[in-house]
Amino acid sequence: MGLAELDPQQLDTLVAETTGAYRELLERKLSLDLTRGKPSAAQLDLADELLALPGAGRTRSAGGVDVRNYGGQQGLPEIREIFGELLGIGVDQLIAQDNSSLSLMHDSVVWALLHGVPGGGRPWSGQPVKFLCPVPGYDRHFSICAHLGIEMVPVETGPHGPDPDEVARLVAADDTIKGIWVVPTYANPSGAVYDEAVTRALVSMPAAPDFRIFWDNAYALHHLTDTEHPPLDVLGLAAEAGHPDRVLVFASTSKISYAGSGVSFLGASPANLDWFLGHAAKRSIGPDKVNHLRHALYFGDAEGVRRVMRRHRELLEPKFALVSAVLERRLGDLGIASWTTPEGGYFVSLDVLDGTASRVVELAGAAGIALTPAGASYPYGRDPRDRNIRIAPSFPPEPELAAAMEGLTTCVVLAALEQQGAVQR
C-alpha cells in the first residue's frame, strides 16, 4: 500500500519503525561509500597477470616495434585489432592511447575550442558554445563543460536515449550547440541503451558541420544479463547518412583491466583521426605502448576480453541483485521511489519523492553512508526535481553494500515522511 493510502494507525507504525531504524543507524557509526563507480579489489585482482607482462626481455610488438621507445601515435595494432572487433570499428578507424578515455574527450573539446574541427572552419571559441546533456548523465562530462565555459542544455533521456526529435529541434534552433554527450550502452547512471532508430536519427539530423556527438561507449562490453546489447556501428551509420565526421567514439579498458592503468580508444572518421593525432603529437611523442603490448598479451584476442567480462559479471551481478532486492523489499510498496534495473554498466538510478533527494543524501551522510551529491547527474549539479540519486554498487564488499542499502532506504522513507509532515525535522 502506498504511503499516501496508509490509515493513521499504519502511518504511526511506519513513523515509529523508520525513526527507530534511523536512530539505530546513527548509533552504528557506519563508514560506507556508494559514491563512485570503481571496480572492487576482487575485480582488479582478475587482471593481476598484467603485473608480470610483457615479461622480462619482451620488448617488441608482433610487428617488430620496440615498445619501449617513442612513437607509434596510433597505438599498437594488436590491441586496436582486439578492440576494433569488440567495438565493431575497423582497425584503421580506431586508435589506442593512454589510460583515460575521459582525457581524450577533454582534449577533443579543448582542441575544438582552440582550433575548430574538420569541416567546421573556425574554432568553437570566440562565440558562445553549448552542449546538449542527456539527463540524468555522467557528472564528469558536465565538469568538462563547466570547466571550459560551455553552457549545458539538459535533455531528458528515456530507456533508449533522448527523444531525437527534441534533439534535432534544439540543434536546428541554435547553431551555438556544438556537441552532445552520449553514453550509448548502459548509460551512466540510467542504464539506457540507445537503439538503432535513435542512433540513426542523431547521425542523420541536420546540424552544422562542426557539430560533434561524443559517443562515450565506456560500458560497451559490461553486460549484466544474457541480453548482451551489441555496439551499434555508429561510425558506419554516420557515414551512410552523409555525416562521417559527426561522431567521436570513446572507450577504454578502465573497467576491464585496471581502472587507473588501462588503455583508451578513439574511433572516428579518417579526417577526425588525423585532426586528433595532429594535436596529440604536440603534447606527447607517443602513447604507452608497453601498456598496449601487455594488454594485448593478457587478453590474447577478443574472446579473451569476453572471458574477462564474464568474470566481472560474476562479481557484479550479485551486487546489483542485492541492490534491487533491498529497494524492492523496503520501498516496493510505498509508492515513494522508482529505480532502474540495468542490463549492464555500473549504476542504478534511484528516483525518490520530488524534493527529497538532497535530504536523503544529507540523512545518509549523517549516518556515515556517503552518496554522490544529489543533483550530480545533472548539469551544474541542479536536478530540477531534486529526486535523482545515483547508486554505485561495484566497489563495496557485499555485507557493506547490504548495510548501506538498508540505511539508504531508511533515509528515503524518513525524508518522505518528513516531507508529508508525518515526522518533524
Q: What is the contact surface with ligand PMP in residues (CB under 6 A)? A: 37, 100-102, 138, 183, 188, 216, 218, 252, 254, 264
Sheet holding 388-391, edge to edge: 337-339, 348-352, 388-391
Residue 266 CB, shortest distance to ligand PMP, in Å, is 11
Nearer to ligand PMP, 254 or 419 (CB): 254
Residue 199 CB, shortest distance to ligand PMP, in Å, is 17
3-state secondary structure of 390: strand
Answer for the pair 401, 319: CB distance below 8 angstroms, yes or no.
Answer: yes
Run of H or E residues at 323: helix 302-331
Nearer to ligand PMP, 264 or 377 (CB): 264
Distance CA 409, CA 288 (A): 44
C-alpha grid cell, residue 390:
545515483
Distance CA 234, CA 184 (A): 10
Nearer to ligand PMP, 111 or 138 (CB): 138
C-alpha grid cell, residue 161:
536515449
C-alpha grid cell, residue 315:
562479481
Nearer to ligand PMP, 257 or 410 (CB): 257
Residue 9 CB, shortest distance to ligand PMP, in Å, is 46
Beta strands in 229-283 (DSSP E): 247-252, 264-267
CA atoms within 13 A on the CB side of 402: 8
**What letter would DSSP give residue 165?**
H
Answer for the pair 380, 142: CB distance below 8 angstroms, yes or no.
Answer: yes
Nearer to ligand PMP, 289 or 359 (CB): 289
Residue 291 CB, shortest distance to ligand PMP, in Å, is 13
Answer for the pair 299, 95: CB distance below 8 angstroms, yes or no.
Answer: no
C-alpha grid cell, residue 140:
564528469
Residue 268 CB, shortest distance to ligand PMP, in Å, is 16
C-alpha grid cell, residue 188:
551512466
Residue 101 CB, shortest distance to ligand PMP, in Å, is 3
Nearer to ligand PMP, 232 or 416 (CB): 232
Residue 99 CB, shortest distance to ligand PMP, in Å, is 7
Nearer to ligand PMP, 370 or 402 (CB): 370
Residue 300 CB, shortest distance to ligand PMP, in Å, is 22
Query: What end-to-end distance do the CA atoms of the chain give, in Å?
Result: 24
Distance CA 34, CA 194 (A): 26
Sheet holding 264-267, edge to edge: 94-97, 264-267, 247-252, 212-216, 177-182, 130-135, 151-158, 161-162
Residue 340 CB, shortest distance to ligand PMP, in Å, is 15
Distance CA 32, CA 363 (A): 13
